[in-house]
Chains A and B, each alone.
Chain A
C-alpha cells in the first residue's frame, strides 16, 4: 500500500548498508534504575499460553513475566540460572536435579515450590505443538519444596538447553485454582515483570515485579509494547518519539533510520530459502533441485532482496546458535552449471513451474520476483503467484505447490529445535523422507561435547546439501531501531533479549 511509495522513495537509497556497530559499544555507563520505555512490534504475542507460541516475540516476552528454571545468557551462547540457582546431572546424564532459589514467590506473593515447577513440566510435555520438544522427559519428582528432579529417557543435553527457551515457563500448580484459559488471560509468574494491562492486539504494559528474586533488576519501572502493524505508522511514531524502539524493522526501511540508531543482528539464526515440493514433478528430480540451487546467485540475490542486509547461506540450518557448524561444503552457483543440471533433469523446457510467495509485504514480493528472474535466466519457466499468507501456509502444508519462498529460524540457543520443525513439516514441506534428519537429531540430543554436536549436525547438513529438500539462499539480518534513550539492549541471534536488562538513559 503506502509501502509502494516508500519503496519508490527508497530506490536510490537502498544500496550497501554496512552493519552498524553492535549494541555493546552503545551502552556506555552504569544502568540507571527507574524510567519507562515504549517498544513497537508489528504483531502481538500469540497469547500467554506457552503451547500457542509460534512467533519470536512470544518466546521473548513470556519469560519476562513467567520466568523458567534457566535462562539464556544475553549473548545467546549459553544458559544461566533462572528460578533454579543450580542444577546437577547424574552420572548417566539422564536425570537433572534442579535446586530452586530460596524464598521464591510468585508476583502475587504466593510461594513458589518445586510442585509448581513439576506441574509446569507436565504442562510443557502435554503441549500440542511444542510437546514433542520435551519428549525426552519421562517423569518428575519433588523430594522437597526446593528440589525438582527431571528424569529423561536418554541423556538429552538438548533438553537442558531447550529449558532456557521462552516456552518453558513456570506457572502455579493447577493454575492457582483457575482454569487454563482464564489463567492465561491474566498470567501470574515469577519473572522480572508483571502484567499491568494487556489489551490483546493493541498494547501490553509491564511493570516491575517487586517480588522478583533479584532486587536489582529489572531496571525499568515500566515497559510498554505497542502493536502497530503498518510500517509507516511505526516509522512516524518512532520519529516523533512516541516510541523508543522498534522490533524487527522491515529491511526496506533501514535507510530511514540513522546509523547510530540501528541495531543489526548480522546474521540472525534464520534461514531464508526456496522450499521445493519434492513429492511431485518437477521437484522430485534431484537434478532439477540442483539446477534451482545453482541458478540463484546468492550474492546478487542478497543485494537485490535484502539490500545487503544478509549473509549468503552456507548451510541448511540456522547459524550462530549452539551446534551450528555448516556442512563444510559449499552451495555453488553458476548459470552454466544450472543449465547443465537442468538439461540432465526430467524438466521439459517450457513447462510452467509455480512459485508461490507471500503477497503482503514488498519484501517478499521483491524476493519472489528476484528469484523468479534468476530461475528464468537458467531456463526454468517460473510463474510467480502472490498469495495471502495463510493461503500460502495452507498450500505448503497440503503439498499443493511447486516452489515457494519462506523463512524459518531458531527460537532457542540450540540448533536442535529446528530439527523438530524440519521433521514435522517433512523437510520444510518437501515430502522427502526425514530418516537421516531424525537420526541426526537423536545423536545431537545426547551429544555432550561440542565436537559430538558438530558431528551430528554435520550429518544433517551434508544430507541437506546433497538432497536439497529445500534450497537455502541466505541468512537474513534483523534490524532493530533503537533511540538513544534505550540502553542495555542485547539481541541474541534467535532474536530474543532479556527485558530486565534494559534501562532508560
Chain B
C-alpha cells in the first residue's frame, strides 16, 4: 500500500522584494510530511525557519515574496498531493499555531464566537451546531469550563489558555497538516509540557501531519519524528530525530546540540558557537547532506537530484569559509566553593506589595514577595528559579533598590540598606536585563554608553582606556567599541550591558533573565563570561531564570520560588538530584530533555509522576497573587497534597545544606 505524503514542499525560494538583485532568504528548501508524522525544524534565530512556515502557508510579510518552488498538498486520504496556488492553502488543509503574543488573537472577538465562525466557514453547519462543535473543540484542547470561557475575550485569558484557543482555532479548520511556529517558546516550562502533550495527542488522534519549528533542540527531541536543521536559509542536515541528534553528521548540528545545557550529564562550561549566524543568501549553496529521511512509503526529503552526484563525491565536504570556528575549550570544572561563604547580601523577611486597583474605588494589595529569607555569599552564583508571576523579578528589584520593600529588609555586608540608598551603596549592586536592545541607548555608541558610568569615578583622560579594558573583560574588541547597539548581535549587546554594569565596580550582579532572549548557541558565551567574572573579580551573581538546565550549568546554589515565597533552596546539584519539594520535582520533570525522549504515556519519569516528560498533572490554573491559597500556597495544585496542607503553613526543614518548606519534604515520592 502506498501512502502519499500530506505535504510536499519542493525547492522553495523566498527573497526580499527589491528591484535588481533581491537578497535570498530561503534558498531552495524541500521537505515532505506524511500523515501522523511530525517534522521538526530547528535552527538559530534568523535562519529562516519561521519564514519557511509562512511561505508554505502563503502568509509572507510585506516586502517578501516567493520566487520559486512549489507547494503540494494532499486534500484527501490516499490522494496524491496536488499543487496549491500561492496563498490558497491557509485554512484549507493547512493551519498554523503561532508563538503566543498578547495580540495573537483578535482582542475584540470573543473566543467562542471566533471558533464558531471558523467552524461554520469550514463545514457550513448551522449556528447552533457550530457552537456545539466549538465548545467541544475548546474542551478537547483542555480549556477548563469551556461553556463559560466561550464568552471570554482573549485579554481575559492567561497565556497558556490563549495558546490552547489558538490550537482549537487551527483544529477547527480541519487541517491536514498543522504548522507550529515556536508555539511554546513564550510559555512556562510546565505549561510547555502540557501544550506539547496536547499537540502530540491531536496529531495522533487525527492523523495530522505536523511541522514544528523551534530553536530549542530539547523540545524538538520530545515532539518530532523527523528533524531538519536549518542554517542560513537552507536545510543542512535532516533525518529521523534520534539519528540526527545522537549521531549528528554535520559539524554545525553537533555544535548546536553541544550548546544546549541539560539536567543530566556532567556540569561543565557552556559550549556556545562563536561568531554570529551567517545571513541567508550570502553563502555558496551548501551541499545538503545525506539526510535519510524515509517516511513510511514513498517520499523524499532534503534531496535534490542535481546534488546526488555531489553528495557521493564529498560526504561531508564543506566549504571552509562556511564553517564558523567552534569555540573548543577544554571542559574545566569550576572550582566549587565548598563550605561556608560569608554572606554578602542577606534578605530577611522581605515583603513587597504592589497596590492594585481591583474594584471601582477599592485598592487591593498584590503581595509579590511574601516573607523571603535569602543569602548570597561573596563570589557565589545563586540561581533563582520560578515560573512567571512567582515574584522573582520583584525580589531582584527589591535587592537592587528599584522596588521599595513593604516589610523586612536587605542587609549589604551586614549593614542594613536604607530606603533611599546612598550612591555609594547603589553602585555595589548592579542589574542586567532580559532585553539588551532596550536597555542600551540606541543613539549612543558602545564607548559612549560605557563612558557615562565611568565619568563618576574615573578622571576624564582615563575614561577611554578604562572603557577598552572593560570591553576586553567581556570579550569585545575595538570594532565593537564604536558600534551602535543595532549593529551588534544579541549576545554582543548583552556583553555591553555587562560591561556597563562592571564599570562602577560592583560587588553583586543581578541578572534578570539575562539570556532568555538569546539562542542557546549564543547564550553560552554570556554565561561563561559570568562565570569567568566570578573567578577573576570575585563577583557575586544572582541569576534569575526560568530555565533549570542553564541554572544547573552556571549556579552554585539555587532557590525555587512559588507565588512569592521560596519553597526550596540549596546547592544546585543536590536540589536537582533529590528535590525536596514537589514543585521542584514537577519543574524538573517538565523540562524537556535534549538527550532522551521521555515516553509518551503512563511510564513514570524520574520521581515517578508520569506523563510526557514526567509531568505530574499540575491541575488547575496558576493562581493569582491576589488570591493566595491558605496554608501551603502550593497545595491546590500539589499532587501530594493532604488535608493539613490546606490549613497550616509548612515550616522550614533542613538537610545537608538544603532548605525546604513542605509538610512532606523529601517524602513526596509515591
Direct contact of A and B (CB under 8 A): no
Residues of chain A touching chain B, judged by Cβ–Cβ distance below 8 Å, are: none
Residues of chain B touching chain A, judged by Cβ–Cβ distance below 8 Å, are: none
